[in-house]
Structure 1
Amino acid sequence: MARISSVLGFAGRFANGRKRYYLMFVAICLLVAATFWRGTCSAYMRQRGNSELYSRRIPEALEWLTDAEKLLPTDRLTQFSLARAYRLSGRFAEMRTHLQKARDLGFPIDRLKREQLLAIAQSGKIREIEPQLADLFSSPGEDGREICEAVVSGMLVCYRLQEAFTILEAWRRDFPTDAQPDVVEGLYYFQKGGWLKAVESFEKAIQMAPDRVEVRLHLANALLQLQRLDDARRHYLACLKTTPRDPNVLVGLGRCLFEQGDLAQAQNKLTQALALDPMHPSGTILLAKLKVADGEAAAALPFAEKAFSLRPFDPEVRYVLAQALQGSGQEERAREHFDFVAAQQLAQSKLRNILEELERNPAQVGLRYDIGEILLQYGNPEEGAAWLQSVLEYAPNHSKACHALAQYFRRLGRETEAAAIERRAQDRDTFASRTSPQQPAKPQPMPPQGE
């Protein structure tokens, strides 16, 4: 009996052991399957994200790539793609974070360094990477298209137009099916107020990439500026079919309907847009403008004041606010804004002349400083600061630009940057005082007339 009991005990232990091994085997299989599934799904999401990235649908690309990272955060390809997506959206802090992650995971260093150079170029600091430009174009690897876009965009930002358009044409030749050269060109003309050329560029882009909603929206906006209202409306409606909850599309369509005199439908679209984005500046001021046109100045005033808090430098905002104040019996406050708009128009006229001169002489530091000063006072202060930064690329210790930038940063509460800029100006002033002669220089004789 003891022997039988022993045999039965051994059999039980053997059965339990087999069961444990079986469960361990199943667990390992499940783990391998889960890992494989995560890797496969992450790779698919990364591929979709890169496809959206190539088509420059950046928000959609970020959604796919972020989901891919959640599934497999140790994938270096996903980290690099995320860095590129953030660069293209101008979010350079996030770009640096993902470049570092890609580096830690063993992504090729040369491509990481190239991406950093592209970020510098894209932001308009071309002079900072001038020595590396030849290498970028001679050895582009698989990034030729990216290099062209970053350098062209940066050169347009810093107004090196002749070089920008030369590279743009080479970009078109090397990538004949790429719509992006026409998009970049169209955006430049749109910002410059060259609506007709902008329309031509966007129409070329749409022919190559008819599914790019943001390009069709740019085209509709340019057509609206040309008062080609029926054409603009057709493109807005096409955008709305694809992205029915895009506030920019709804606001554009609302503006088009307003121009066509359909105030009820315009208000309907603007109300929808503001329900999606209550802080949309264009939608807010357009709703105020609509109410002023409908004789409801008092109802327009809260919207106009809200738009002013969002975009105080926008001439349309200031003018509509002045109209709403005037219609509400606040003549003195209205006059202040009317006067500002009049001064702004004079400044804009001067600005156009300076930009034309700068197009001929892009290295003229004084012209760049004047543009920055005008924009700080009468335009978008952020753009004004960018122009002053471009002054420092040509003249790193330009005293006036340093002081103006320091004041700008201080108004934003960015004390560290303000102090750094001021130190740069003080170093320049100290150097100048040490090297200047103790006695004033003798006046030079005037040259004879005719020389």
Structure 2
Amino acid sequence: MADPKVQSETSEAPVSKRRGKFVLSALVLLMVLGAVWGKTAWVNFCQWQAEKKLSDRQTDRALEWITRAYQADAQNPRTLLIQSRVHRRNSQIEAAVADLTRLHQLTGTTDDLQREQWLVEAQVGDLQNLERNLADMLIDPRGRAADICETYVNSCMLNYRFNDAKRMLEVWQADFPQDPLPHYYRGRILEHQGGWDQAVAEFETALNLDSEHIPSAYNLARVKLAQNQVEAALKNYRICTNLQPDHAAALVGTAVCLRMQQDVETARQKLEQARQLPDAQVVKDFRSVGDPVYVARSAILLEQGQLELAAGNYDQAVTHLKEALQRNPKDRKARLALANALRGQGKLDAAQEQLKIVEETQEAIKRLDECFDQLQLDLNNADLRAEIGAIFLKYISEDQGVVWLKNALYYDPENQLAKQTLSEYYEKQQIPPDQSSIQ
């Protein structure tokens, strides 16, 4: 007979092996589930942080968080939707469209996707869908009422529909009385319409609500400078640089004030500081305070040229101003300053050539102002919008020109001037028309 102890040991061996396999399998399953649950929790946390930062208008921080979520799971529909919102708020329209395209591939057409698409369209001036659905979106804003209001106001301003923008600002301000943005946007509209004292009051109100609102401080400084209140302008530009020492637009504004105070050396230092910044940051800083991209491209070099021209350093002025015109050939201020610098060098014929271009541009801008005045009396006039677009395209900014020409086609899809001008532009740029729907 076998030893009972041996028999017991041999009979327990298979049981122990089975138990060991079960424990190992359970551990593996728990690790897999833990990884999945951990990944899901991380993505959800990143999404929450991104939406919170977006609500606080910290778009850079929002982009950092949603990028983390995307890196963890590039197929998550909610991540793509939030990422599109962040890109739109950063004026990265092509990236926003790409996000929505990928989202549509995953989910098809959804209510949230459509809403975001309408906001993207409005961001570039196409108000048709947003306006048609605006009431429903504001009745059920889903926590984004201020974003909807801001996008609508921006689009109205692009379309020169200032009265519609002002009406929305009243609604926005009533619902969010502590938000500085309604006052900021009203100030910009009033500044554009020449109501400088009223604009000052609005910018100051915005700063009373949020003393760290850089766009309000910057635009207040610009109005003060236009009113020749140099010290007051400098004070407000310094509010901006105290909050963000490397703010490109504020550094240039500070340099302008210092030039007017004849503090040439300090002005040079500010401009050199701005020159060290990456081009992407320069554009971003100017856009964040309401200045268009075409201004940002040449602003630093233009002021460097103006500074050296005022100091009588004509050779240096010519160098800076020619580079400014390489970056933005349509910058009439740079061209006029270049003409004066060339005259200072004794190159009268070259100066006269530049002045001829300036005079032609100024005549076009005179007509542009007339078109804007007429447009206020007939906002649906596609012919005026097409003419504005054609002038922008040739003399001021191609990007702005394209926006206005497409805007004319929104009001009249068969407008011949808009269609022909866009067709010629796309042919010159070698851009297929079906790939130019959003620029």
Alignment TM-score, normalising by the size of structure 1: 0.80
Q: Structure 2: how far apart are the matches of 1:261 and 1:25?
A: 78
Quote how far apart the aligned CAs of 1:192 are: 5.4
Aligned to 1:82: 83
Residues 417 and 96 from structure 1, CA distance in 2 versus in 1: closer, same or farther, beyond 3 angstroms? closer
CA distance in 2, matches of 1:254, 1:332: 31
Q: Alpha carbons of 1:4 and 1:256: their partners in 2 closer, same or farther (altered >3 Å)?
A: farther
* In structure 1, distance between residues paired with 2:14 and 2:265: 83
Partner of 2:240: 239
Whether 2:377 is the aligned partner of 1:372: answer no
**Residues 29, 388 of structure 1: alpha-carbon distance in 2 compared, 3 angstrom cutoff:** same
Does residue 350 in structure 1 map to residue 391 in structure 2? no
For 1:334-390, what per-residue CA distance to the aligned partner results, in whole angstroms no more than 9, with x for missing partners? 212222223333333332232122112112233223322332333223222322222
1:215-230 alignment runs, 5 A limit:
215-230=216-231
Sort the Cα spacing of 1:205 and 1:57 in 2 relative to 1 into closer, same or farther, 3 A: farther
Q: 1:160 to 1:213 in 2, by over 3 A?
A: closer
Give the corresponding residue for 2:253. 252
Q: Distance in 1 between matches of 2:129 and 2:418?
A: 18
Aligned length: 420
1:371 partner letter: I
One-letter code of the match for 2:154?
A: S
Instruction: Give 2:252's aligned amino acid.
Output: V
Instruction: Work out the CA distance in 2 between the residues paired with 1:298 and 1:155.
Output: 44
SS class of match (1:177): coil
Q: Which runs of 5+ in 1 are unaligned?
A: 421-451
Task: Encode CA deviations 1:285-337: one digit per residue, 9 max, x unaligned.
Answer: 11111112222211222221111011222221111222232233332222122
TM-score, length-scaled by structure 2: 0.82
Task: Please list every run of 5 or more consecutive structure 2 residues that lacks an aligned counterpart in the other structure.
Answer: 280-295
Q: Pick which of 338-347 and 102-111 moved more.
A: 102-111
Cα distance change, pair 26–391 in 1 and its aligned pair in 2 (3 A)? same
Root-mean-square deviation (CA, aligned residues, Å) is 3.4
Paired AA for residue 115 in structure 1: E
Whole-Å separation in 1 of the counterparts to 2:340 and 2:13 = 93
What are the within-5 Å matches in structure 2 for residues 2-401 of structure 1?
35-102=36-103, 109-127=110-128, 130-190=131-191, 194-277=195-278, 280-401=297-418
Q: Deviations over 1:266-299 (max 9, x none)?
A: 1111111111136952111111111122222112
Judge conservation of contact 2:423–2:433 (CA < 8 Å) in 1: no
Q: Which sits farther off after the overlay, 328-337 or 190-199?
A: 190-199
Deviations 1:15-55 (A, max 9, x none): 88877766666665555555555444444443333233223
CA contact (8 A) 1:321 1:337 kept: yes
State the distance in 1 between where 2:403 and 2:153 align: 17
Match in the other structure for 2:427? 410
Alpha carbons 1:152, 1:168 under 8 Å: kept: yes
The offset of 1:14, in angstroms, is: 7.9
Cα shift at 1:416? 3.8
Any conservation in 2 of the 1:308–1:321 contact (CA below 8 Å)? no
Distance 1:34 1:395, change over 3 A: same
Question: Hey, what's the Cα distance between the residues in 1 that align with 2:7 and 2:245?
Answer: 76
Q: Which amino acid aligns with 2:118?
A: L
The one-letter code sitting in structure 2 at the alignment partner of 1:263 is V
Per-residue CA shift, 1:175-216, capped at 9, x if unaligned?
222222223333434555654444333322222233333443
Matched residue type, 1:362: L
